Structure 1
Amino acid sequence: MSVLVCFHAHPDDEVFTTGGVMRMAADAGHRVVVVTATDGALGEFPDGLLDEYETLAQRRSRELEASTDALGANRVVSLHYPDSGMVGTPENENPEAFCNVDVEKAAERLAEVLREENADVLTIYDPNGGYGHPDHIQVHHVGVRAAELAGTPFVYEASTNRDHMKMLMQANPEWTEEAQPPDIESFGLPADQLTTAVDVSSVISSKRAAMYAHATQVGDFGPFLEMPTEQLAAAFGTEWFRRRNAPEGLSETALPL
């Protein structure tokens, strides 16, 4: 049995880029651990969704539990840093927000989990955090350092294949502006920088179930929830990674689990 640890910024981030590899790893008998940096308390959500006296952080924690159950996680850890908010918002200036925390101290907290689990593989984000969110960028920095501290042998930067995304957008002009990244040229990584493409179409139903679990995040998942399975698999049936310190020319179809 190997151990896969997926480090994410907010509850719901686990679905898009690692939901499939999590489910496939769990189905193969491996241990799957999800670590979230923040509580997601600054996310947008539909009016009237929360119960009386319920906070968004409380609801998103329960959603994360349901999502990770669908994806086969054995353990979920939250580091409980304050959400930094979207880039350019006043919350970015909060000294306690995750984007501003000391990388060494945060990395040691993640490294403690990696050591406890004797992790074989850690997933983080690419240096731009996929799309420039301050918390996602910090996940990259903290994750890289934590793997160094813990001696985790394989580190994979979860990303999006920018060229694949462009192709999908051209083929699906009916997709709304809300469903498209704001600046495609800064979104994810180009195909020639990715080392690993994992076909997760066989577990696309689990990814859809995880999307449904995050009811507060309908703004993120809404355009995709009712897609026919074939379309959903085209959009999310491959998960893309760049393996750090990979041999030149590496082209993988699975994580080393």
Structure 2
Amino acid sequence: MTHTCVFFHAHPDDEALLTAGTMARLATEGHRVVLVLATAGEGGLAAPEHLARGLGGLRRAEARASARLLGCARVVFLGYGDSGHGSPPPEGSFAAADADEAAGRLADLLAGERAAVLTVYDPAGGYGHPDHVQVHRVGYRAARLAGTPVVLEATVDRDLLLRGIRWASWIHRLPPGFDRDAFHRAYAPRAQITHRVRVGQHWAAKRASMAAHVSQAGGGDSVRTLAALRRLPAPVFRQVLGTEWYIQRGLPPGTRLHHPLAAFNDGGNRA
């Protein structure tokens, strides 16, 4: 049986980093994959040549290219502004939007698609970006309105992330201003994670999705995450990014699942 799976993200390139392998896996298995983006990411960092071209339009095109590479059937932009990192968020931005109104927009899409699964972020929005936190709020409200049966919170295994940072600090000097302590509050501890989705066979699609976001390879004062990950040798890339993590609230403690559609009794889902 096939299902429609909606992946809800804040900005173009978020899908490449957090859920691209899962999206490619589901599309390969014959499921309908829909990418929904709250904003066009026009408030993000980028090199001057990309900013001069109009970052919002460029990032929309990059998102569509990424979606094609992952096998998505549809890409939808909700049309909100990128909030950036300022406080308070600007008028018209997603973080400043009325959560019920935004949820209504998303719920209409979920109902029209008869979505079986919606992905959002963990309550902290991963690393705390206000648009990511709003994705969590809006997504859960929309799922209730539409009757979408499963909501998965895309996250990262914090225990593994902290171990990786320690390892990296032994091998290389961390960039100036790198706040290692901030990662103790980011994403989710391993004990909360219910789904460990194996996507190593789809590493090439995930890497291609990252490469599609050309504007996000530079800009700012430090090495960008996308650029650093894309420089990894293929075997290392597959090893480091071969798993994607999700939380499904309400499952018994210690649940370990290996497929995003485990709730629908697909084969090979449990550890």
> TM range, normalised to the smaller chain?
over 0.9
Q: How many residues are paired up?
A: 252
Aligned partners of 1:10 and 1:55: how far apart in 2? 15
Whether 1:27 aligns to 2:28 is yes
Q: Residue in 2 aligned with 1:75?
A: 74
Unmatched segments (≥5 aa) in structure 2: 218-223, 267-271
Q: Aligned with 2:144: secondary structure?
A: helix
Aligned partners of 1:71 and 1:176: how far apart in 2? 32
Runs of 4 or more off by more than 6 Å in structure 1?
Answer: none
Q: Residue in 2 aligned with 1:236?
A: 241
- When the two chains are superposed, the root-mean-square deviation of aligned CA atoms in Å is 1.8
Q: Residue in 2 aligned with 1:177?
A: 175
1:224-250: CA deviations, max 9, x gaps?
A: 111012222233211000002223432
Aligned partners of 2:225 and 2:162: how far apart in 1? 18
Which of 132, 137, 140 is the aligned partner of 1:141? 137
Identity rate, percent: 40
Q: Residue in 2 aligned with 1:126?
A: 122
Aligned partners of 2:39 and 2:179: how far apart in 1? 22
Normalising by structure 2, report the TM-score. Answer: 0.88
Q: Residue in 1 aligned with 2:225?
A: 220
How many Å apart are 1:175 and its aligned residue?
7.2
State whether residues 126 and 186 of structure 2, in contact with CA within 8 Å, keep that contact through their aligned partners in structure 1: yes
Aligned partners of 1:3 and 1:77: how far apart in 2? 14
Task: Identify the range of structure 1 (137-146 vs 65-74) with the bigger mean alpha-carbon deviation.
Answer: 65-74
Which of 89, 93, 108 is the aligned partner of 1:97? 93
1:119-163: CA deviations, max 9, x gaps?
A: 001100000000100000000000000000000011000001000
State whether residues 158 and 186 of structure 2, in contact with CA within 8 Å, keep that contact through their aligned partners in structure 1: yes
Q: Aligned with 2:36: secondary structure?
A: strand
Task: Identify the range of structure 1 (216-225 vs 57-66) with the bigger mean alpha-carbon deviation.
Answer: 216-225
Aligned partners of 2:260 and 2:242: how far apart in 1? 15
Within a 5 Å distance, the mapping from 1:35-46 to structure 2 comes to 35-46=36-47
Aligned partners of 1:126 and 1:236: how far apart in 2? 19
Q: Aligned with 1:241: secondary structure?
A: strand
Q: Aligned with 2:50: secondary structure?
A: coil
Letter in 1 for 2:249: R
Unmatched segments (≥5 aa) in structure 1: none
Letter in 2 for 1:161: D
Normalising by structure 1, report the TM-score. Answer: 0.93
State whether residues 39 and 61 of structure 1, in contact with CA within 8 Å, keep that contact through their aligned partners in structure 2: yes
State whether residues 81 and 97 of structure 1, in contact with CA within 8 Å, keep that contact through their aligned partners in structure 2: yes
